[in-house]
Chains A and B, each alone.
Chain A
Amino acid sequence: MTDMSNSTTPQNSLLRQDARTIRRNRAETRFKAYGVAAISVGLLMLVILLVTIIGRGAGAFQQTFLTLDVQLLEAKLDKKGNRDLEDIKKVSTFGYAPLMAAALEKKVAQSDVESDLKPKEMAALLSKDAAAQLRDFVLANPDLIGTSVEFRFLTNSRVDGYMKGRVTRASIANDKSINAEQLDLVDALIKDGALEKRFNLAFITGADASDARPEAAGMGVSMIGSLFMMLVVLALALPIGVAASIYLEEFAPKNWITDIIEVNISNLAAVPSIVFGILGLAVFINYMHLPNSAPLVGGLVLTLMTLPTIIISTRASLKSVPPSIRDAALGVGASKMQSVFHHVLPLAAPGILTGTIIGLAQALGETAPLLLIGMVGFIASNAPDGIASGLMDPNSAMPAQIYEWAKRADPAFYERAWGGIIILLVFLITMNAIAVMLRRRFERRW
Chain B
Amino acid sequence: MSNLLNVAPTTLLVLVILLLAVFAFVSARSRAMSLAGGDARKLHSLPNYYGYNAAMLTAIPALFVLAIWLLIQPMLVQNAVIEMIPQAAISEGSSVNLVMSDVRRVADGLDGAVQTGALTVDAAKNLTAADDVRSILAGTGVALGSDVGADVLAAAQRYRGLQSTGQWLMIAVVMVIAIGGLAVALMATTPTFRARNMVERFVLALLILAASLAILTTVGIVFSMLFESINFFKLHPWQDFFLGSKWAPNFRGDSDLSILPLLWGTIYISIIALLVAVPIGLFAAIYLSEYANSKVRAFAKPLLEILAGIPTIVYGLFALLTVGPFLVRLFGRGEDGILGLDWMTGATSVLTAGLVMGIMLIPFVSSLSDDIINAVPQSLRDGSFGLGATHSETIRQVVLPAALPGIVGAILLAASRAIGETMIVVLGAGAIARISPNPLEAMTTITTRIVSQLTGDTDFASPETLVAFALGLTLFVLTLGLNVLALYIVRKYREQYE
Q: Which A residues fall within an 8 A CB radius of B? A: 24-25, 27-28, 30-32, 34-39, 41-43, 45-46, 48-49, 52-53, 56, 239-241, 243-244, 246-248, 251-252, 260-261, 263-268, 270-279, 281-283, 286-291, 304, 307-308, 311, 335-337, 361, 364-368, 371-372, 374, 376-377, 388, 392, 399, 402-403, 406, 414, 417-418, 421, 424-425, 428, 432
CA distance A282 to B104 in the complex (A): 17
Check A307–B213 contact: CB distance below 8 A. yes
Q: Find chain B residues with CB under 8 A from A432 CB.
A: 309
CA distance A182 to B241 in the complex (A): 56
- Contacting A at CB under 8 A, from B84-135, are 104
Contact of B416 among A30, A270, A287 (CB under 8 A): A270
* From B287, B391, B476, residue with most partner A Cβ within 10 Å: B287
Known: A39-B300, A371-B455. A421 touches B317 (CB 8 A): yes
One digit per residue, 1 when the CB lies within 8 angstroms of any chain A CB and 0 when it does not, for chain B 169-213 equals 000000000000000000000000000100010011011111111
User: Whose C-beta in chain A lies nearest to the C-beta of B451?
Assistant: A371
Q: Find chain A residues with CB under 8 A from B74 CB.
A: 287-289
* From A39, A41, A279, A365, residue with most partner B Cβ within 10 Å: A39
Q: Find chain A residues with CB under 8 A from B423 CB.
A: 367-368, 403
CA distance A403 to B286 in the complex (A): 36
Q: Find chain B residues with CB under 8 A from A263 CB.
A: 484, 487
Contact of A268 among B218, B306, B460 (CB under 8 A): B218
User: Whose C-beta in chain A lies nearest to the C-beta of B78?
Assistant: A287
Known: A267-B484, A271-B476, A365-B312. A38 touches B455 (CB 8 A): no
Check A273–B221 contact: CB distance below 8 A. no
Known: A274-B451, A372-B454, A372-B455. A39 touches B304 (CB 8 A): yes
Check A267–B483 contact: CB distance below 8 A. yes
**Least Cβ–Cβ distance between A368 and chain B, in angstroms:** 4
Q: Find chain A residues with CB under 8 A from B430 CB.
A: none
Nearest first, the 9 A-B pairs at minimum CB distance are A272-B420, A35-B287, A365-B311, A38-B283, A282-B224, A243-B210, A31-B392, A368-B422, A247-B207
Check A39–B307 contact: CB distance below 8 A. no
Check A271–B392 contact: CB distance below 8 A. no
B137-145, B359-367, B379-387: which one contacts chain A? B359-367
Known: A337-B200, A368-B312, A425-B314. A307 touches B214 (CB 8 A): yes
Contact of A281 among B279, B286, B454, B483 (CB under 8 A): B454
Check A366–B427 contact: CB distance below 8 A. no
Known: A243-B206, A279-B221, A291-B4. A41 touches B450 (CB 8 A): no
- B447 proximal to A (CB < 8 A): yes
**B interface SS class:** helix
Q: List 13 A-B contacts (CB under 8 A).
A: A24-B393, A27-B393, A34-B283, A49-B359, A243-B210, A248-B211, A264-B218, A271-B221, A274-B451, A277-B454, A282-B228, A307-B213, A402-B317
Check B304–A428 contact: CB distance below 8 A. no
Contact of A425 among B211, B307, B310, B391 (CB under 8 A): B310
Contact of B220 among A261, A279, A366, A402 (CB under 8 A): A279
Check A271–B420 contact: CB distance below 8 A. yes
Known: A267-B484, A278-B472, A392-B4. A38 touches B318 (CB 8 A): no
CA distance A140 to B228 in the complex (A): 52
- B395 proximal to A (CB < 8 A): yes
User: Whose C-beta in chain A lies nearest to the C-beta of B280?
Assistant: A38
Check A28–B390 contact: CB distance below 8 A. yes
CA distance A364 to B309 in the complex (A): 11
New A-B pairs, 20, CB < 8 Å, besides A32-B391, A274-B475: A32-B287, A35-B291, A37-B283, A38-B287, A243-B209, A244-B207, A267-B218, A267-B483, A267-B484, A272-B421, A274-B420, A278-B450, A279-B225, A281-B454, A286-B460, A311-B214, A403-B313, A406-B320, A418-B317, A424-B314
Size class of the contact patch on chain B: 35 or more
Check A243–B207 contact: CB distance below 8 A. yes
- B16 proximal to A (CB < 8 A): no
CA distance A53 to B316 in the complex (A): 12
User: Whose C-beta in chain A lies nearest to the C-beta of B277?
Assistant: A42
CA distance A45 to B317 in the complex (A): 15
User: Whose C-beta in chain B lies nearest to the C-beta of A291?
Assistant: B3
Q: Find chain A residues with CB under 8 A from B303 CB.
A: 43, 46
Check B287–A39 contact: CB distance below 8 A. yes
CA distance A30 to B393 in the complex (A): 12
Q: Find chain A residues with CB under 8 A from B243 CB.
A: none
Contact of B284 among A39, A261, A267, A304 (CB under 8 A): A39
- B413 proximal to A (CB < 8 A): yes
* From A56, A337, A368, residue with most partner B Cβ within 10 Å: A368
- Contacting A at CB under 8 A, from B274-314, are 279-284, 286-288, 290-291, 300, 303-304, 306-307, 309-314
CA distance A35 to B292 in the complex (A): 10
Check B300–A43 contact: CB distance below 8 A. yes
Q: Find chain B residues with CB under 8 A from A25 CB.
A: 390
Check A374–B455 contact: CB distance below 8 A. yes
Known: A270-B479, A274-B451, A366-B311. A261 touches B320 (CB 8 A): no
One digit per residue, 1 when the CB lies within 8 angstroms of any chain A CB and 0 when it does not, for chain B 346-379 equals 0000000000000100110010000000000000
- B322 proximal to A (CB < 8 A): yes
User: Whose C-beta in chain A lies nearest to the C-beta of B217?
Assistant: A304
Q: Find chain B residues with CB under 8 A from A277 CB.
A: 454
**Least Cβ–Cβ distance between B321 and chain A, in angstroms:** 6
**Least Cβ–Cβ distance between B160 and chain A, in angstroms:** 14
**Least Cβ–Cβ distance between A273 and chain B, in angstroms:** 7
CA distance A317 to B480 in the complex (A): 27
Contact of A53 among B213, B314, B422, B479 (CB under 8 A): B314
**Least Cβ–Cβ distance between A120 and chain B, in angstroms:** 34
Check B312–A270 contact: CB distance below 8 A. no
User: Whose C-beta in chain A lies nearest to the C-beta of B225?
Assistant: A278
Known: A272-B475, A275-B476, A337-B203. A402 touches B313 (CB 8 A): yes
- B1 proximal to A (CB < 8 A): yes
- B158 proximal to A (CB < 8 A): no
- B456 proximal to A (CB < 8 A): yes
Known: A361-B309, A399-B313. A278 touches B468 (CB 8 A): yes
- B417 proximal to A (CB < 8 A): yes
* From B3, B217, B362, residue with most partner A Cβ within 10 Å: B217
* From A53, A246, A274, residue with most partner B Cβ within 10 Å: A274
User: Whose C-beta in chain B lies nearest to the C-beta of A336?
Assistant: B200
User: Whose C-beta in chain A lies nearest to the C-beta of B460?
Assistant: A286
CA distance A402 to B417 in the complex (A): 22
**Least Cβ–Cβ distance between B73 and chain A, in angstroms:** 11
Check B447–A272 contact: CB distance below 8 A. yes
User: Whose C-beta in chain B lies nearest to the C-beta of A38?
Assistant: B283
User: Whose C-beta in chain A lies nearest to the C-beta of B359?
Assistant: A45
CA distance A24 to B483 in the complex (A): 39
Check A273–B422 contact: CB distance below 8 A. yes
- B54 proximal to A (CB < 8 A): no
Known: A31-B395, A403-B423. A264 touches B214 (CB 8 A): yes
Contact of B207 among A246, A335, A414 (CB under 8 A): A246
Check A46–B304 contact: CB distance below 8 A. yes
Check B208–A35 contact: CB distance below 8 A. no
- B262 proximal to A (CB < 8 A): no
Check A282–B203 contact: CB distance below 8 A. no
Contact of A38 among B210, B279, B419 (CB under 8 A): B279
Check A42–B280 contact: CB distance below 8 A. yes
- B68 proximal to A (CB < 8 A): no
Contact of B3 among A56, A244, A289 (CB under 8 A): A289
CA distance A107 to B207 in the complex (A): 71
User: Whose C-beta in chain A lies nearest to the C-beta of B208?
Assistant: A247
Q: Find chain B residues with CB under 8 A from A261 CB.
A: 211-212, 214-215
Check B211–A367 contact: CB distance below 8 A. no
One digit per residue, 1 when the CB lies within 8 angstroms of any chain A CB and 0 when it does not, for chain B 413-454 equals 100110111110011000000000000000000010011001
CA distance A279 to B223 in the complex (A): 9
